[in-house]
Structure 1
Amino acid sequence: MAESFIFSIAESLITKLASRAYEEASQVVGVYDDLQDMKSSLSYVKAVLLDAEQKQEQNHELREWLKQIKLIFYDAENVLDQVDCETLRKQVIRDYGTPKDKVGRFFSSSSPLVFRYKLALQIKDIRMRLDRVAADRDKFGLQVIDVDRRVVHRREMTYSHVVESDVIGRAHDKEKIVKLLMEPSLDNNAGSKHISVIPIVGIGGLGKTTLAKLVFNDERITDSFPLKMWVCVSEDFNLKQLIIKIINAASNFVSTGALPGHQNLKELEVEQLQYCLRNMLEGQKFFLVLDDVWNEDRVKWVALQDLISVGAQGSKVIVTTRSPSIASMMGTVAYSHHLKSLSPEDSLRLFVRWAFKEGEEGKYPDLIRIGREIVDKCKGVPLAVRTLGSSLFSKHERQEWESLRDKEIWNLPQKKDDILPALKLSYDEMPSHLRQCFALLSLYPKNHYYISFGVASLWGAAGLLSLESKDETIVDVAHQYLRDLMARSFLHDVFYCGTFYIFDIHDLVHDLAVYVAKDVCQLVNSNTQDISENVLHLSFVENGLPYNSIKPSLQGVRSILFPVDNQGASEAFLDAWVLNCKYLRYLDLSDSTCETLPESIGKLKHLRYISLQGNTRIKRLPNSICKLQHLQVLLLDRCSNLETLPKKIRKLISLQRLEITTKQSILPESDIAKLNCLEHLSVENCDNLKSLFVETRLPTLRTLQVRGCANLKSLPLDTQNFPQLETLGISSVGNEDWLHRSEDTNAVLRLKTIVLFEMVTLPHSLQQYASTLQGLMISRCYELEVLPEWLWNLSSLKFLYISRCPKLKSLSSDIHRLTSLQVLRIINCHELYRKYEPQVGECWPMISHIKHTDIRNTWE
């Protein structure tokens, strides 16, 4: 499927070669003429690639031809990147090098003359290979289509939390489940120990989770069950992790006295955790949703069942799963609720809602008739219906609808009950650049919550984000791509925070991402026998894998990830794998256990991203890391034993994002100030740090986070030194209002988003941003009891998010003064939920005028 990316790769290569900056760079390096010849060969092949992509499904020989081209393009990308690396290296030597550096490099094996000679040979080889495959172009009868005319039809941003009136065709299912839950006892199994388990079964995308949400939020259920808990299980039925999730879900409703102080639950043993869980549930009549269960091991289920069996008589559990055998194993009722497909009428209603603006469908009776035929192919699966409807939004030409209806992709062989053809059809309608970005989301496990900063780093390191203007940043482009994916319903549970996004993707959409990326991306687990040849991106989703038994060809690998918490790389992994990947661009070593990085890390000159987040063993970094002039992201947060930052960090001239935890009492601010591309800076848990940015100017910084710096006395921020700063995150600063308040109104920052974590009170100085602040997030402020009066003066506030503030009891009657407020989200705040619950809470009328409200008692 990776052959669908080829046109985009060709386009980016040609665009780069044609740019004035690159022409100048290639002249300096001495390979200008060679690259211009290669550009001509690229253009000749590119002209027929769009037609070839569309015809490859039915032509094996054509697919093989495209694979050959793809490999040549990968080599071409690596060659062009070497020119960039050399240009940046020359810039660093010019700005920071000593005479000794310059003379030594001239006589070394990496001298300009040797580099030019080797690069010219590589370019010649690529051009000759391109010319050979181009000679076969005509035998396939391909048409010249030089412009990708697929466009993204955008629509207004929406929020994905369930509103009952927006759900079509599930009222009967909901009533049936609610009726079962309201019955005193449902036990069909004497061993159930008071806990009745009702499974909801159906294929992916059918709406099992949506139905469970409708039931979970029904007022009759809320009245009947003092304790409600929502837990997303997914593929990992790890007992310890499940206990932690249930404790976290329950802690919003019951006293946390059972918990050992503020100790991190992950640090406790299973014995301690099960004691806490049983104490919290004992005698409580609870309702628990276990969403998306894949576990077929009955022993694991019985172990969990025994722990929660201390609940009061009448406690109920809903399990959603794709597997009838799992439902049979877990259920205690006489039957499972098998969720059926939507009726043709309900499917069409859902399709119309997504394909047309409200009320305009009456203008297009011919399109509605074609729409019926399209909906028939979706087999009543809501996700497929919604996705295809979104792909036709604002398209009113009959031929566009007929083309979608008549696509041969529907006839592709699929597993039983699989709807990948329906989803893939919308994927095929995406522009090539968007398809590449979507495919990389497959590198993360299901139910992963994506943050747009991280997604932007991954896409940027892969070279998928092209800047169209000097004022644009990689994050800006990534956000536009995310909005494009939202418009096609490929993102789920989207949470916009003012200057960034948090989201996940539906299981079925994740399956699609894995499917389309299978030749480019690979998830490695204990079942992996080998690594696909020519794979570019590797994601290791299990710990302790037998790396030595897998013998991949690593030369072309560009990304290595460890995306699962507490599962990181060892030093043996670094030695066996990483150092052989000479074209590596993205290296995520989060939660790794290595005590040091090898000095040879400095040879991976193509690297854009390195993360050592959460490594509690590493003490120092090799100074050679500062040879990575391409590096855009360096994440060292939660490296609690890191004694010092590497010397000469100023040489990282491309660095855009830097996150730090260090034992230093003074940061190398003069070096940091020379990072002229720095946009995002995080200083976290630097306990020895007493001052920050006293005389430092960071003109490009847009996001600043300062968290858990217990001895920090002040944080002077003004527009003179931070003219671009728009997002500020602070946490764990006690009662001290150390955020500097400027007396000069002209010097006040123009902040758009503020994120507050673990605060006892909110700093008074925040009110100085009242005229510009658009987003405010308040999370995990466990002792916060009241919101300050000045908060209601934030005249520009559009988005207010409050999470996990159990003692917060009221929003104040002055909330109506927030005249710009469009979105209010209250998550896991028990007292606020009770008062402001939609439709029924005593204070609901005070907020009912707000356009978007999302008030819930558990993460979903």
Structure 2
Amino acid sequence: MADALVTVVLEQLSSIIAQKVQKEVGLVAGVKNEVQKLERKFKAIIAVLADAEQRQLNEESIKHWMGQLKDVSYDMDDVLDEWSTTIAKSQMKVNDEHPRKTIKKVCSFMIFSCFCFREVGLRCHVAREIQTLNDRIDGIVTEKNTFHFKLSEGGPNLPERKITASVIDATEIKGREKDKGTIVKMLVGESSDQEPALRTISLVGMGGIGKTTLAQLVYNDHQVETYFGKRIWVCVSDPFDETRIAKAILEALTRSAQNLIELQALLEKIQESISGKRLLLVLDDVWNEDSTKWEQLKNSLKRGCLPGSRFLVTTRNKKVANIMGSSSTDILELGLLSPDECWSLFSQFAFFEKNSRQRENLEGTGRKIAERCKGLPLAAKTLGSLLRFKRSRAEWESVLNNHVWEIEEAESKLLAPLWLSYHDLPTKMRPCFLYCAVFPKDYTFKRDALIKLWMAQGFLRETQNQEMEATGGECFEALAARSFFQDFEKDEDDGRIIECKMHDMVHDFAQSMTKNEIFSLEIDGGPAESKIGSFSRDARHSMVVFRNDDAYSFPATIHSFKKLRSLIVNGSPSPMNAALPHLIANLSCLRTLKLSDCGIEEVPSNIGKLIHLRHVDLSGNEIKELPEEMCELYNMQTLDVSACWKLEKLPDNIGNLIKLRHLSVLRRSDSSFVEMRGFEGLGCLRELDEFHVSGSGEGSNIGGLKNLNHLQGSLWIKWLGDVKDPDEVKKAELKRKEKLTRLDLRFGSRRERRIIRDDEILEALEPPPNIDWLGIYDYQGIIQVLPSWINKLKVVRLVNWGKIENLPSLGKLPFLEELAVAWMDSVRKVGSEFLGMEAGADDDDSDISIGEITASPSNTIIAFPRLKTLSFDTLENWEEWEGEGRRNEDKTIMPSLRSLEIYDCPKLKALPDYIYQSTTLEKLRIMYSPILKEQFKEGGKGWPNTSHTPNIKLL
């Protein structure tokens, strides 16, 4: 983390020197020179950091020096942040107090003098801090010179990489039979001879998972050996040297590189040598992300060899696999061994030449050690080999109870491969990866939450062309592609990773790199205070994890870690009300304070003094109100008070949080309401999950959304109160929120009488132009059709429309893929109007319509042309679903339907003909609808029509 941290500090120092604000505010005499000295020293340190990062793995003195460097860099970052924050806040106050630009010079001078007077204490404090830091960095620079570091010359000094070959003893390999069979089939499948192009098969996975081993097994398989006329193994590693690789290929083909030097000559000779041969080329350990380095070699090989030839690539990075030419179907992401396979591999080494009595004595401990390997073959083999010559249970338990990096014999073999992956990361991504060490093993990382935490620590930079959130998304994807994450849960719609985990060995590596900066405290019943004593008081990030529900109190001595930048509490079983004031009073460096579900009833007012604070998560607590002092937190980026059911209002001055980007008040309940006013100043807001409208005037006015044009994703708007006229609704200017894609409207309880109708509100909204999801809940309008702006919708949810007897003409929506209708008490019949095929549909005398029904080029009318999922839930009075007769040449209904679900519709008598006749239906659910259920039992009236549907469930 040191390299990225030092770079950040250097950027801040350079910015301070160049800032115009220096001329306006001034500095204590000599401070500018001190800042310039610091800048020069940090530049000199950056020049040797690559060498220092590598050598710290084996030299304790350098590791200590790196720790000192990180400490002074953190402290410098705090000083600079305090300085810039206070100046910015003071300038805001001046601008607020005197907004007019045409102020007389004498008045301006008085204002400026007051401003300087307020800042004189700060400037003296900054001067003292910078002088102290300069003295500290002097010692670090002096010590640097004693290590004789190598200067960086355009790139990192990478550790020596292991050279691989194709030789293997297959008897030592456990658990890859299925994977081997899959790859062999991809290489020698029946279709190979018909394929003109070279296919590239890639094995992808984290370091130590067995990619090279599997490639060796495949390479030496008899079927593969027989099928390919020529097999070549090349260990590529990094850098990707086309000439060296070409020489290796040519040497394998001719037993000599023939003293050729130029790439062109090598490629010509290779083409000549492989002519008329079916080739298998294994490229092991590829890191290259530059497609141009591979293209010439690939094209030359394609022109030379026979169809059916193959490339087999091993890499840790899925992006590399794509660059090398593998399609998604040609990438095998290698999984971990099963527990039994892992135990078999571990015991093969650990119990070598041990008798049955020794094995019986050690097996219990051995199985626990094997479990720690979490299916990683390298870990099982390394720890098994380590224990091969250890025969006492005490020795084995020592291995079990220590971190991997504390076991000297295992550290180099297990962590070194991960060091290569770490070193391959761009410098700015490294702190994002290392920050994950603050979480416990087997923790589920949520993508968006993790990105917000990275933002709070300053790991992500915003540019003119890209927001921090987008940069964070790229970083997350890069870590996943490089196999730092695993166990992915993906979004069903776009395939984006939304959750993942980290393998224990990767977690151990991250902890080994941050062991004096980051600590996790697990409280499971023992005395927590005794555990705290082993952690460095210079630690910067901490997570406290309660492992059970017993009411253990929060460890009070946490507040002695005064340099903490992150405090994350997970699962506190007892309220933190007593501990919280002391924590806030002492942890002045906090940037992240995450205290969800901690039983907190009151937030101390002194939280406003935590000037560095950027991320506050108080979700799930018993808070009734937030102190106005929170609005002094100028740097706040994320505030989460979701599921705080007792919270009645947000602070009136919340608009002062001009850097706030994410605000969550999520509660969804119809009756729960939060007073939300003063939002006009939150122009940076990117995420607002709910906005509660209490009415007009002094309350939470819908017009508060006017300036929030950066909102992204989804937004819930909930009404609870009077709206006087449509023009008031238009003040929200939702049409300018171009990045919103989902809109949910809950019209609230019926406790108050509306001045205008719900349908008038709906049409007046002028919603975002790019929404594809619309939900409307508790709608009490009297017009049954939807407004004119919904034609782009892919998902529609209509819930609890109390007065509507007929469903809107949703069949006209050309892009609709998913429709859910629920709690429609007044609906008794669903007829042709639902399809948009009712008589006179095109002549609807209402001024609200949703466009024309879709027609194909052959003039066939298509209702619901793209609908895939349809569900009806709790329509208790629904009796008839009218059909349209059999399909004919000029009418088609729901041609894409895949899933139909009907819940709690007890009076519904039958499904329409177009459902019975569907040839696309794959899933049918009929639950708590007894009349329909009887029809669809085997042999029932409806059975012949839907018996071909593969997935039917009746209840």
TM-score (norm 1): 0.58
Quote the offset at 1:533 in angstroms. 2.8
Is the CA contact 1:88–1:630 (under 8 Å) kept in the aligned structure 2? no
- Give the conservation status (yes or no) of the 8 Å contact 1:150–1:431: no
Q: What do residues 125-172 of structure 1 show as CA deviations (whole Å, max 9, x unaligned)?
A: 112211221122232121121755699xxxxxxxxxxxxxxx974389
CA deviation profile, 1:790-820 (whole Å, cap 9, x unmatched)? 56525999x99989999999x953369xxxx
- Aligned residue for 1:14? 10
Correspondence 1:644 to 2:654: no
Structure 1 residues 549 and 678: CA distance shift in structure 2, 3 A: closer
The letter of the residue matching 1:610 is V
Q: State the match for 2:479 in structure 1.
A: 485
Q: Does 1:539 align with 2:546?
A: no
Change (3 A) 1:48 1:463: same
CA distance in 2, matches of 1:630, 1:845: 60
The reply on whether 1:23 has 2:33 as its aligned counterpart is no
Taking a change above 3 Å as real, the CA distance of residues 733 and 452 of structure 1, as seen in their structure-2 partners, is: farther
Q: Is contact 1:758-1:780 (8 Å) kept? A: yes
One-letter code aligned to 1:723: K
SS at match of 2:711: coil
Q: Report SS of the residue matched to 2:40.
A: helix
Amino acid paired to 1:428: H
Deviation readout 1:233-284 (Å, 9 max, x if unpaired): xxxxxxxxxxxxxxxxxxxxxxxxxxxxxxxxxxxxxxxxxxxxxxxxxxxx
CA 1:501–1:374 in 2, change beyond 3 Å: closer, same or farther? closer
SS of the equivalent of 1:524 reads strand
Unaligned runs of 5+ in 2: 100-108, 159-174, 183-204, 221-229, 238-247, 249-281, 287-312, 325-377, 383-403, 751-756, 801-806, 820-865, 876-880, 882-892, 899-920, 928-935, 937-944
Displacement after TM superposition at 1:691 (Å): 6.3
Match of 1:705 among 703, 715, 729: 715
- Identify which of 601, 614, 619 aligns with 1:613: 619
Deviation at 1:665, TM superposition (A): 7.1
List per-residue Cα deviations over 1:182-228 (Å, max 9, x = no partner): xxxxxxxxxxxxxxxxxxxxxxx999xxxxxxxxxxxxxxxxxxxxx
2:801 matched to 1:793? no
Mind listing any 5+ residue stretches in structure 1 that lack a counterpart? 152-166, 175-204, 208-339, 353-361, 376-384, 397-404, 817-825, 836-841, 848-854
State yes or no: 1:813 paired with 2:820.
Answer: no
Match of 2:689 in 1: 682
Structure-1 separation of matches of 2:606 and 2:496: 35
Q: CA deviation at 1:569?
A: 5.6
User: Which secondary structure state, in structure 2, belongs to the residue aligned with residue 490 of structure 1?
Assistant: coil
Structure 1 letter corresponding to 2:590: L
1:227-306 to 2 correspondences below 5 Å: none
| CA displacement at 1:75 relative to structure 2 | 0.7
Work out the percentage of aligned pairs sharing the same amino acid: 20
Which residue matches 2:424?
429
- 1:556 CA drift (Å): 0.8
* Structure 2 residue 750 is matched with structure 1 residue 750: no
Match of 2:661 among 642, 656, 668: 656
Aligned to 1:504, the other structure's residue is in SS state strand
Partner of 2:582: 576
| Contact 1:41/1:127 (8 A) holds in 2 | no
CA contact under 8 A between 1:541 and 1:562: conserved in structure 2? yes
**Among 416, 432, 442, which residue is 2:437 paired with?**
442
Q: 1:647 is matched by which residue type in structure 2? A: D
Distance verdict in 2 for CA 1:717–1:109, change over 3 Å: closer
Instruction: Give distance in 1, aligned partners of 2:215 and 2:480.
Output: 21
Q: Aligned equivalents of 2:437 and 2:22: distance in 1?
A: 35
Residue aligned with 2:542, SS:
strand
SS state at 1:57 partner: coil
Which residue in 1 is equivalent to 2:316?
388
Aligned counterparts of 2:142 and 2:212: Cα–Cα separation in 1: 50
1:748 and 1:769 in contact (8 A); partners too? no
Change (3 A) 1:600 1:484: same
Cα deviation, 1:397-425, whole Å, max 9, x if unaligned, reads xxxxxxxx9xx999984669995544443
DSSP-derived class of the 2:68 partner:
helix
Tell me if structure 2 keeps the 8 A contact 1:792–1:814: no
By how many angstroms is 1:389 displaced? 5.7
Whole-Å separation in 2 of the counterparts to 1:427 and 1:452: 20
Give the 3 Å change call, closer, same or farther, for CA 647–206 of structure 1 in structure 2.
closer
Aligned-pair CA distance for 1:594: 2.2
1:535/1:417 CA distance change after superposition, 3 Å: closer
Pairing of 1:597-608 with structure 2 (within 5 A):
597-608=603-614
Residue 346 (str. 1) matches residue 243 (str. 2): no
Shift of 1:753: 6.1
Query: CA 1:572/1:27 → structure 2, altered by over 3 Å: closer, same or farther?
Result: farther
Q: Is the 8 A contact 1:805 1:829 kept in 2?
A: no
**1:459: how far off?**
0.5
Q: Which structure carries more relative contact order (alpha carbon 8 Å, separation 6+)?
A: 1
SS at match of 2:681: coil
Task: State the partner residue of 2:72.
Answer: 72
Query: Would the aligned equivalents of 2:675 and 2:700 in 1 still touch at CA under 8 Å?
Result: no
Whichever of the two has the greater Rg, that structure is: 2
Q: Which moved more, 1:685-694 or 1:85-94?
A: 685-694
Structure 1 counterpart SS, 2:12: helix
Partner of 1:402: none
Distance of 1:753 and 1:423 partners within structure 2? 42
Secondary structure of 2:139's counterpart equals: helix
Q: How many residues align?
A: 612
- Partners of 1:150 and 1:430 within 8 A in 2: no
Q: 1:132 aligns with which of 116, 126, 139?
A: 139
* Cα gap change, 1:525 to 1:804, in 2 (>3 Å): farther
Once the two structures are superposed, residues 616-668 of structure 1 have per-residue CA deviations (whole angstroms, 9 ceiling, x without a partner) of 3x222221111111111122222222232212222112111222369997845
Read off the aligned partner of 1:705 and give its amino acid letter. L
Which of 235, 238, 247 lines up with 1:367 in the alignment? Answer: 235
Match of 2:464 in 1: 470
Give the CA deviation at 1:61. 1.1
Distance 2:922 2:24 in 1: 56
Determine if the alignment matches structure 1 residue 562 to structure 2 residue 569: yes
Q: How does 1:190-229 map to 2 (within 5 A)?
A: none
Give the Cα separation in 2 of the matches to 1:416 and 1:37: 39
Q: Deviations over 1:348-388 (max 9, x none)?
A: 58999xxxxxxxxx99742379979869xxxxxxxxx9873
**Deviation (angstroms), 1:754:** 3.9
Distance between the aligned counterparts of 1:473 and 1:649, measured in 2?
23
Secondary structure at 1:572 match in 2: coil
2: CA distance, partners of 1:366 / 1:723: 53
- Flag the 1:20–1:139 CA change in 2: closer, same or farther, 3 A: closer
Contact 2:17–2:36 (8 Å) recurs in 1: no
Paired amino acid for 1:39: E
Q: 1:589 — aligned with what? A: 595
Partner of 2:522: 525
Q: How does the TM-score come out when normalised to structure 2?
A: 0.53
Give 1:466 deviation, angstroms: 1.0
How far residue 84 of structure 1 moved from its aligned partner, in angstroms, is 2.1
Q: Deviations over 1:59-110 (max 9, x none)?
A: 11111111111111011111110122113212331233489xx999989999
CA deviations on 1:14-43 (whole Å, 9 max, x unpaired) are 223334896224444434443223211211
347 and 124 in structure 1: CA distance in 2 versus 1, 3 angstrom threshold: same
Q: What does residue 722 of structure 1 align with? A: 736
